Structure 1
Amino acid sequence: MYSNAHKLRMIRKVCDIYRQHQGKGLTTRHIYRRYIYPVYPISMGTLYNYLNTPVGAKERELEESGRTTLT
């Protein structure tokens, strides 16, 4: 799905922001509107896709293939 190293870093940052605020009893929409959208203007659908992306596995695949970006 995602194989560009830059995109994977962005997905990891978005997921980190989400997880940082998740345990505070905030809804996903609130976290999105208050903390994610001002920094990363993505849609809610994209946020859900990012949260379901296995970033660690994708990063390992990139390292194994020796690529950092797609051309």
Structure 2
Amino acid sequence: MSKTNQSIGIRHNTLKRYQLIMQLYKTHKTEDIPDTVILRKYICPVYPISRTTFHKILCTPVNKELSELEKLKSQQLQISF
């Protein structure tokens, strides 16, 4: 079953949000600050997420999945013409 444009768009927006959260994390991460403190002080006020979701985001290969979605989008555009 092929993905619909709507599901591709939803996944694209999710990955873009993950990218923004990763940027916040990388901005504030140092050796002496634990991840939970970064989540509580810097990420949760902007993006209210749980600790489980935060760890899921940290483990997601965002750039790889975004490039795969772009390839999928271009393939669907070629098929539709």
Bucket of the pairwise TM-score, normalised by the shorter protein: 0.7 to 0.9
Which amino acid is the alignment partner of residue 59 of structure 1? L
Distance 1:34 1:24 in 2: 16
Structure 1 outlier segments of 4+, above 6 Å: none
Distance 2:36 2:64 in 1: 27
Q: Equivalent of 2:20, from 7, 13, 32?
A: 13
Q: Secondary structure at the match of 1:66?
A: helix
Q: Equivalent of 2:35, from 25, 28, 46?
A: 28
The equivalent of 1:38 in structure 2 is 45
User: Which protein has the bigger helix share?
Assistant: 2
Normalised TM-score (structure 1): 0.84
Identity over aligned pairs, percent = 32
Structure of larger gyration radius: 2
Offset from partner CA, 1:23-59 (integer Å, 9 cap, x none): 2621111100000001101000100000000001100
Structure 1, gaps ≥5 residues long: none
Distance 1:24 1:37 in 2: 20
Which amino acid is the alignment partner of residue 61 of structure 1? E
Which amino acid is the alignment partner of residue 24 of structure 2? I
